[in-house]
């Protein structure tokens, strides 16, 4: 029977080809505050967008006119409107990209005259967003679940950490316990940080997250070369996963702080954002296990036919898997080390 450890190599080789990004999934952030038919509109645009391609952001509706010039720079700004209409549901925020939207989502934080806050997450193709009169439990829950799933899908550093945990955990029972420990850990700090009960520098957190990945990869390589699995990581993977999860939770909280929490439904938004993160994480684990299963079938077929098809791609894959080389871990280690150095420079 093929060792699952060898099958992981094909997945690791694929991960090496991912772009060297970690948290570049920030949305265009728009804040709109109402003061008795006067509206204060401000925005922040993530720096990943090309200079000159920033969207023009406007408030549109019956009788809406600007009462101040735009104040700000290319990536942020502010202007004020007066709207004569009394039906808030006819007001819309419009994002106009000069050359089309480069796949950026948007977040509209709208506070009406009654101090009710509405957070609206929008996909890249939605460029005209209607402002609601009232937030509902279902709307908030759906928005924050979707946001959590999208964040974990773009959080390559978190996914790489989970992938390393899958490699280290042995057996279904240990795997489930290890992933559960990681989930419990980051859920605790996500709640604490989002409610401002515990505050830590996001630059430091992001740097330590990258360092945690380096730690896992170094330990995997060391244990394979020396055939030594006596370290704490191998003896207590659940404990290590839980402790590292505490660190990763602060990273999730930093993203949630970018989105903001609706004042009247903070607990709901926080819970369902975490649910979204967990759904994304479970989907990723299921995808990896599916790929493991397919790789196992490929290797089994390669074993049967490698003598007849020595030049085939499957035979090459078989030889690579059975070489026991840790080639895939080295570029992953370089990538995570690059993240660590890049983020550390932002601290000082």
User: What are the structural domain ranges in the chain?
Assistant: 4-23+155-345, 28-135
Residues of the chain below pLDDT 50: 1-24, 309-325
Q: What is the pLDDT of residue 317?
A: 44
Candidates 3.40.50, 2.60.40, 1.10.3470, 3.30.379; CATH matching 28-135: 2.60.40
Which residues contact residue 199 at a Cβ distance below 8 angstroms, ignoring those fewer than 6 apart? 193
pTM score: 0.66
**CA–CA separation, 333 and 342 (whole Å):** 14
Q: Which of 325, 329, 321 is nearest to 225 (CA)?
A: 325
For the chain, state the CA radius of gyration: 24
- Residue-level pLDDT at 263: 65
pLDDT at 144: 87
Q: What is the pLDDT of residue 333?
A: 86
Of 277, 271, 272, 275, nearest in space to 252 by CA: 277
User: Would you state the pLDDT for residue 243?
Assistant: 92
């Amino acid at each position: 029977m093929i060792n699952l450890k060898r099958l992981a190599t094909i997945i690791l080789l694929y991960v090496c080809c991912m772009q060297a990004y970690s948290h570049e999934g920030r949305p265009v952030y728009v804040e709109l505050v109402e003061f008795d038919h006067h509206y204060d509109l401000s925005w922040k645009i993530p720096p990943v967008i090309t200079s000159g391609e920033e969207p023009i952001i406007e408030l549109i509706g019956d009788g809406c006119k600007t009462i101040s010039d735009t104040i700000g720079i290319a990536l942020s700004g502010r202007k004020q409107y007066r709207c004569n209409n009394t039906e808030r549901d006819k007001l819309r925020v419009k994002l106009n990209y000069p050359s089309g939207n480069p796949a950026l989502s948007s977040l509209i934080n709208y506070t009406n005259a009654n101090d009710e806050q509405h957070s609206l997450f929008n996909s890249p193709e939605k460029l005209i967003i209607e402002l609601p009169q009232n937030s509902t439990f279902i709307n908030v829950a759906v928005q924050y679940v979707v946001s959590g799933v999208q964040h974990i899908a773009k959080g390559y550093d978190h996914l790489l950490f989970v992938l390393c945990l899958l490699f280290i955990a042995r057996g279904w029972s240990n795997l489930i316990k290890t992933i559960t420990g990681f989930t419990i850990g980051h859920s605790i700090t996500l709640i604490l940080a989002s409610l401002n009960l515990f505050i830590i520098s996001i630059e430091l957190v992001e740097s330590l997250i990258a360092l945690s990945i380096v730690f896992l990869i170094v330990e995997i390589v060391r244990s394979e070369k020396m055939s030594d699995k006596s370290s704490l990581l191998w003896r207590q993977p659940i404990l290590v996963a839980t402790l590292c999860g505490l660190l990763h939770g602060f990273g999730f909280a930093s993203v949630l702080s970018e989105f903001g929490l609706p004042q009247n439904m903070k607990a709901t938004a926080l819970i369902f954002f975490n649910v979204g993160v967990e759904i994304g994480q479970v989907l990723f684990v299921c995808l990896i296990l599916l790929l493991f299963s397919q790789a196992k079938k490929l290797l089994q077929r390669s074993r049967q036919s490698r003598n007849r098809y020595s030049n085939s791609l499957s035979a090459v894959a078989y030889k690579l898997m059975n070489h026991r080389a840790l080639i895939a871990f080295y570029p992953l280690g370089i990538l995570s080390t690059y993240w660590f150095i890049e983020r550390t420079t932002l601290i000082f």
